[in-house]
Amino acid sequence: MTAASPAFPPGPLDEDRKVLLARLVEGLDAPALWWLSGYTAGLAQGHGAPQLAVLPGGGAAAAPQSGQRLTVLYGSQTGNARREAEKLATAAEAAGLAVRLVRADAYPTRELASERLLYIVISTQGEGDPPDDAIGFTEFLSGKRAPKLPELKYAVLGLGDTSYADFCGIARKLDARLAELGAQRIHDLGQADLDIDSVAAPWREAALAKAGELLRAAAPASGAHLATVTPLRPAAAGWSHERPFPAEVLANQRITGREFRAVGFRKYGPVEKDVRHIELSLEGSGLAYEPGDALGIRHRNPEPLVASVLEAARLDGNAAVTIEGETLPLHEWLATRRELTRLSRPFLAAHAERSGSASLRQLLDPTQPAGLAALLADHQLVDVLRRWPADWDHQALVAALRPQAQRLYSIASSRKRVGEEAHLTVDALRYHAHGHDHLGAASAFLAALEEGAQVPVYVEPNERFRVPADASRDIIMIGPGTGVAPFRGFVQERAETGASGRNWLFFGAQHFNTGFLYQAEWQEALQRKELHRLDLAFSRDQPAKVYVQDRLRERGAELYAWLQDGAHLYVCGAIAMGKDVHAALLDVVAAHNGGDREAAAEYLTTLQAEGRYARDVY
């Protein structure tokens, strides 16, 4: 507290003030209450009505002048970067630093020129793409309108996955671009793999130390108040990704016919399509979710997958292995602690050294990224062990493998309809490649669960993927395959809340007879006027393949009219599909705005900035 700050009141509020305060806060949600606490604290300390800064949830927070604070900006697709940014901001708060935490799409880019200390925490989506909430910011920073930044000091922490060739690609681009604009890098770029904390924790400690030095050095000259003025939301109590809730399986039902298909590559043999509708009980957990959120799953690697790795590595699953003070049989390390279906460059480099394979070393040549990208997409761990035999001991193999990554599945229900349950739509991955059968890790685990079994879960919020707050707005949902999952929740939510806006769904699969997920539900929703339009694309039911993007172009005039009338647009599914759909949307908008594709791209960017075009792609 500064010398000019008033003393705190000597006692509790009188009854009249309590009643007034109760009326004031009635109906406010948790983020609003936290903002209000920071606002009133600022008033109590004699700082007057603080300036307001945009926060991730769309609220506001008190902020000092840009030269007196640390701004932590994040872009996150699955929640990991958001959590790391919150850790960074919380640590800065604990150190007595003024800090502003802001999601990339909520950051006013006009403020960048006056920013003095900026830390960016950002994940890479797919092959070097930004997460959806950071598309606008990265495009601005990369474009001609980005200002020169000679007075800005910055640091970047990237989160990525070394099973992709362009590891932390967007973080490296932002780091280089800020330097190109004249900003001063005050801490080296951090690049974290799936074992995030091994890189993020030391990066955070060192970066915060430098931020503290800079802000405290500026304080005497400017009279800056270094107490935190941005109220950060408290850590969620109870169940989380570190401590998941044991949810009981209420139902596990197959919702595809017994069709056979070829998957991905011509050399793959036919396998059975198996999509599951799974219902989980959240009773007693206190977990809450909104349609659009995801459910995190902590899975156990299926027994056939573990057995195949042990066989290929020629190792004893009963051998005890101790890593960082924890001792488990090798079999248990592989089943519960290590990633078996997603490869990483560090493991491949270690395996190349042990195997002595010249061909594998050639694939790791950084000047030929296409070969590595194909390997990462086409091989599981067991394929590498079989193709390039090497001598691994039990301890070394566990140490070389990445920690197991938890999986996220879009929630396919609304709590307003199903109560304390969460529903999932899971495609159990099974295919034949390189002469052997293969399984998906988490999907096969979920598909095998029987009623009454328990699965560890947590809720991963997706704040950008929500039904419109204005219930009169129309919505357009594009979700082929299991990408339809969140839209089942959307339609349920809109029906239960009596939303007056119309609902239009585009759905696609290979075959009508075997792949039309939730067919009976959609037909019933149409009859009840809970779903107002349904457009279908079954790619293999006719000689010429037809996809949802083709239906978008066919319905272009109506689609554009809905958007012009204020409709919200949602896309969910695979990254490649998302790109194809975006290209189709560009065609649709360009066809109805005079053929100007540049203007069409700007139109879609504006929709994204307004929160009217949201994607959940993976």
Selection from 335, 273, 331, 268 nearest residue 301 by Cα: 335
Task: Please check whether residue 45 is in contact with residue 7, taking contact to mean a CB–CB distance below 8 angstroms.
Answer: no
User: Which position has the higher pLDDT, 35 or 87?
Assistant: 87
What DSSP string describes 390-427? ----HHHHHHHSPBPPPEEEEB---HHHHSSEEEEEEE
Residues contacting 455, CB < 8 A, separation 6+: 246, 247, 249, 280, 297, 298, 299, 446, 449
Superfamily of domain 243-297+405-462: Translation factors (2.40.30.10)
User: Which position has the higher pLDDT, 560 or 367?
Assistant: 560
Q: What mean pLDDT is predicted for residues 451-480?
A: 96
Q: Report the distance separating Cα 67 and Cα 610, nearest Å.
A: 29
Q: Report the distance separating Cα 547 and Cα 541, nearest Å.
A: 11
Q: How far apart, in Å, do the first and last CA atoms of the chain sit? A: 48
Prediction pTM value: 0.77
Selection from 303, 302, 469, 333 nearest residue 402 by Cα: 333
Rounded to 5 degrees, φ, ψ at 142 are: -85, -15
Q: Report the distance separating Cα 76 and Cα 80, nearest Å.
A: 7
User: Which position has the higher pLDDT, 196 or 177?
Assistant: 177
How far from chain centre, in Å, is Cα 570? 15
Tell me what pLDDT residue 68 has. 77
Q: How confident is the model at residue 299 (pLDDT cuts 50, 70, 90)?
A: very high
Ranked by mean pLDDT, the top range of 106-110, 171-175, 266-270, 368-372 is 171-175
Residue 109, CB-side half-sphere exposure with 13 Å CA sphere: 17
Tell me what pLDDT residue 121 has. 97
Selection from 617, 383, 284 nearest residue 480 by Cα: 617
Task: Please check whether residue 225 is in contact with residue 98, taking contact to mean a CB–CB distance below 8 angstroms.
Answer: yes
Task: Please check whether residue 278 is in contact with residue 449, taking contact to mean a CB–CB distance below 8 angstroms.
Answer: yes
Mean pLDDT of the chain: 85
Residues contacting 551, CB < 8 A, separation 6+: 506, 508, 535, 536, 537
Task: Please check whether residue 254 is in contact with residue 276, taking contact to mean a CB–CB distance below 8 angstroms.
Answer: yes
Q: How confident is the model at residue 129 (pLDDT cuts 50, 70, 90)?
A: confident
Are 243-297+405-462 and 473-615 equal in CATH topology? Answer: no
Q: How confident is the model at residue 302 (pLDDT cuts 50, 70, 90)?
A: very high
Q: Report the distance separating Cα 338 and Cα 404, nearest Å.
A: 4
Q: Which whole-number Å values give the CA distances from 320 to 85, 274, 328, 332, 368, in the listed order?
A: 37, 36, 6, 9, 39
User: Which position has the higher pLDDT, 63 or 214?
Assistant: 214
Q: Report the distance separating Cα 87 and Cα 208, nearest Å.
A: 11
Statement: residue 49 has pLDDT above 70? no
Statement: residue 483 has pLDDT above 70? yes
Superfamily of domain 68-215: Flavodoxin domain (3.40.50.360)
Q: Which two tokens stand for residue 221?
A: 């000259």
Tell me what pLDDT residue 73 has. 96
Statement: residue 230 has pLDDT above 90? no
Tell me what pLDDT residue 367 has. 82
Statement: residue 234 has pLDDT above 80? no
pLDDT tens for 68-99 read 789 999 999 888 899 999 999 999 988 889 99
Q: Which amino acid belongs to residue 237? A: A
Across the strands, what pairs with 368? Answer: none
What DSSP string describes 229-246? -SPPPPPPPS--SSS-EE
Q: How confident is the model at residue 215 (pLDDT cuts 50, 70, 90)?
A: confident
User: Which position has the higher pLDDT, 350 or 164?
Assistant: 350
What DSSP string describes 273-315? --EEEEEEE-TTT-----TT-EEEE-----HHHHHHHHHHHT-
Q: Report the distance separating Cα 568 and Cα 329, nearest Å.
A: 51
Task: Please check whether residue 383 is in contact with residue 342, taking contact to mean a CB–CB distance below 8 angstroms.
Answer: no
Residue 312, CB-side half-sphere exposure with 13 Å CA sphere: 19
Statement: residue 419 has pLDDT above 80? yes
Statement: residue 5 has pLDDT above 80? no
Q: What mean pLDDT is predicted for residues 488-494?
A: 98
Q: How confident is the model at residue 304 (pLDDT cuts 50, 70, 90)?
A: very high
Fold of 473-615: Rossmann fold (3.40.50)
Q: Between 1.20.990.10, 3.20.20.140, 3.90.1150.10, 1.10.260.40, what CATH number should domain 301-398 receive?
A: 1.20.990.10
Sorted by where each begins, the domain ranges of the chain are: 68-215, 243-297+405-462, 301-398, 473-615
Q: Is 158 helix (H, G, I), strand (E, B) or coil?
A: strand
